[in-house]
Amino acid sequence: DGGITQSPKYLFRKEGQNVTLSCEQNLNHDAMYWYRQDPGQGLRLIYYSQIVNDFQKGDIAEGYSVSREKKESFPLTVTSAQKNPTAFYLCASSMEREAADTQYFGPGTRLTVL
Amino acid sequence: GDSVTQMEGPVTLSEEAFLTINCTYTATGYPSLFWYVQYPGEGLQLLLKATKADDKGSNKGFEATYRKETTSFHLEKGSVQVSDSAVYFCALSEGTGGFKTIFGAGTRLFVKA
């Protein structure tokens, strides 16, 4: 079954700790994305990657870091520099051959800072 | 810059009612337009899309027509079901050399039995 997996589903972090969210896809997609979703708001782009070993900042990259060492994997680290990290985090992927390409989303990780 | 505006929710309807969720956009070129749906506790999934003016996207009884003259992509369904309760996101994508998808704020739909 092809798709995107994110783990864990729920994550709790103490203030001052870094935490890494996992995202894996077996769709053979070139592009991968990380979004943040807050209640009542749309999705905001954190980082995206169009190819292995390359990634670009999105609209709200401060306090986050990513890596893209493998095509299938795009982990997101929420650092202690992120002032308000409690949110729902969504990973997505697409072929990114043209603007009409659909984005496929994982089930999300809900991060809560205690 | 590009933007997407959709009607605020929540929208509450009775089963079998007609649904319209308005969406308008601002873009410099000729974007592709999408509706995504998010069921409780899940990620988004594509509902339908349209890639050029006057195209109609349709899926599961939902429809939306790409109206360039009014820069709109309103979502409609003739008869909603309880299982349609979800958050609906309008989105656009355009550009070359790296496509960014712009999402609206989402509209929550509640359907009562």
Cβ burial of A62 (10 Å; 0-12, 13-18, 19+) is exposed
Give residue-wise pLDDT tens across range A29-60: 999 999 999 987 789 999 999 899 999 999 99
Give residue-wise pLDDT tens across range B9-64: 899 999 999 999 999 999 988 899 999 999 988 899 999 999 999 999 999 999 99
Higher per-residue pLDDT: B22 or A100: B22
CA distance B81 to chain A (A): 23
* Residue A106 forms contact with B (CB below 8 Å): yes
Cis check: omega of the bond before A8, within 30 degrees of 0 = yes
* Residue B88 forms contact with A (CB below 8 Å): no
Nearest to B105 among A42, A102, A103 (CB): A42
Whether residues B45 and A105 touch (CB distance < 8 A) is answered with yes
Q: Sign of the CA dihedral A84, A52, B95, A23? A: negative
Residue with tokens 């969210």: A21
Check residue B107 and give its pLDDT: 96
Residue with tokens 């996101």: B89
CA distance A81 to chain B (A): 25
